[in-house]
Amino acid sequence: MIADIISKLKNKEISALELTKSYLNKIESENPDINAFITVTNDSAIKEASNVDDLISKSENLDELFSKMPLLGIPLAHKDIFSTKDVKTTAASKILEDYIPVYDATVVSKLKSSGGISLGKLNCDAFAHGATGENSDFGPTKNPYDKSRVAGGSSSGTGAAVASEMVVFATGTDTGGSLRNPASFTNTVAIKPTYGRVSRYGIFAMSSSLDSIGHITTSAEDSALVLSQTAGFDPFDATTSKHPVENYLENIGADIKGKKIGIVKEYLSDEIDSEILEKTKSAINIYEKLGAEIIDISLPNSEYALASYYVITLSEVSSNLARFDGIRFGFDRDKFGDEAKRRIMIGTYALSAGFYDEFYVKAQKVRTLIIQDFKKAFEKVDAILAPVSPVMPPKIGEVVDDPMKNYLMDILTVPVNLAGLPALSLPCGFSSKGLPVGIQLIGDHFSEKNLYNLGYNFERISK
């Protein structure tokens, strides 16, 4: 927990340097096996940690210092699609193998200003295309709970690094589930904020109308603290919102008696793994015990969400990847992996003259219907509870050559992105094989504070 570490730093029970070194040691011993990091920034992390210790020793008012820099001394890492000044940023693709950005993504600079110490860059599916982490050109990330299985994707390194305590928290992106999926596979907590809540500036765009920038932590409270540092309007990203950033930690532990939680009948079909359904039911019981009112709801257009997502996403991917033409930066286009090539081809087809109305425009219309379904639901409920993944973490190699199987893993996560809603994914116990299972709480636009309140109360009973 970040709060515990901060209190130890404040009371001088540990130094930032000791703390950083202990995490770097963990990376040294665990990472060769797990493959969560693409780049480890040992030297700069040690330098930054010493600077933090200087700042602490010179400070006359530590409360003031830590309230200005709430993440002071906290070891973190970034998914390798966040631009980091002077630090190699590959998007897990060979096409960017040598690329060194000249500026930081807004989230990277915000977390620096909050005092966080970056230990490096994390593995993921190349350009964030995938749900298992196996589309990385730098090898798959292994699941710390069972190393023969994937850690989820696309933010595979983010989930695995947090779960195996190589960092305290890590950033990632969620275009169709890429934070919630690895969190549910690695027993960690992920926030996919409302679209436009966190700046996308400086992060390689996958699908610009869906990309959401969030993070993985080990608790709802840590997640709330980090979001309070990353959220907000950014003049460099015209899609960020001026909606005020709330104090997500205020009343996080408040009673949730009487809150209404919706259960979507279309999300609990027999296509979902039976143990995942069972765990979802046990989560519903916990909320009943906490005094929430459980209400059955329907999102009738859910069955069209995946098709609509893959038409819209692949169209936007084909346009966004056009910048890697081998002229301005990066290597030649033949360095693209199979999945990027597949997405460019399908996306270009969907956008081409004659097919545009039939595919792209139709998918956008379906998207509107999905948004309307959610809006209607939120007239009746404060949040929706659902499973995250329909399947347990696959074995490495099990689904990688079957794109349809891969895409079907996103069936419960993509509706949230299509509607631009926030969702919090929480650990919900383990399967009979000892594999982590996650649930997600979905809220109306800008209701992150409510999700954290619900998540915090859930953790109190489920942990």
Binding residues (CB under 6 A) for ligand GLN: these are: 128-131, 154, 173-178, 206, 313, 410
Q: Which residue among the candidates 83, 118, 136, 154 is catalytic per the annotation?
A: 154
Closest CA to 170 of 133, 101, 116, 249: 116
Q: Which residue among the candidates 118, 155, 178, 223 is catalytic per the annotation?
A: 178
Closest CA to 66 of 145, 10, 136: 10
Angstrom distance (rounded) from CA 69 to CA 15: 16
Contact 227, 172 (CB under 8 A): no
Q: How far is the CB of 321 from ligand GLN (least distance, A)?
A: 13
Angstrom distance (rounded) from CA 24 to CA 287: 39
In the structure encoding, which two tokens stand for residue 407, read together?
Answer: 């895409």
Provide CB contacts within 8 A for 357, sequence distance 6+: none
Q: How far is the CB of 180 from ligand GLN (least distance, A)?
A: 9
Closest CA to 202 of 234, 226, 232: 234
Q: Which is nearer to ligand GLN, 120 or 153 (CB)?
A: 153
Q: Given its phi and psi angles, is residue 123 left (phi above 0), alpha (psi -120 to 50 degrees) or beta?
A: beta
Q: How far is the CB of 80 from ligand GLN (least distance, A)?
A: 13
Query: What interhelical angle do 448-462 and 220-230 show, nearest 10?
Result: 160
Q: Which is nearer to ligand GLN, 31 or 175 (CB)?
A: 175
Q: Which is nearer to ligand GLN, 212 or 217 (CB)?
A: 212
Q: Is 154 a catalytic residue?
A: yes
Kind and range of the H or E element at 344? helix 338-351
Q: How far is the CB of 91 from ligand GLN (least distance, A)?
A: 11
Q: Which is nearer to ligand GLN, 131 or 454 (CB)?
A: 131
Angstrom distance (rounded) from CA 381 to CA 398: 38
Q: Which is nearer to ligand GLN, 48 or 211 (CB)?
A: 211
Q: Is 178 a catalytic residue?
A: yes
Q: Which residue among the candidates 15, 79, 192, 447 is catalytic per the annotation?
A: 79
Q: How far is the CB of 386 from ligand GLN (least distance, A)?
A: 16
Contact 259, 454 (CB under 8 A): yes
At 190, is the secondary structure helix, strand, or coil?
A: strand
Q: Which is nearer to ligand GLN, 9 or 391 (CB)?
A: 391
Q: How far is the CB of 244 from ligand GLN (least distance, A)?
A: 27
CA angle 285, 286, 288 (to 5 degrees): 65
Angstrom distance (rounded) from CA 194 to CA 242: 12
Beta-strand ranges (E) seen in 12-53 are 37-40
Q: Catalytic residues, which ones?
A: 79, 154, 178
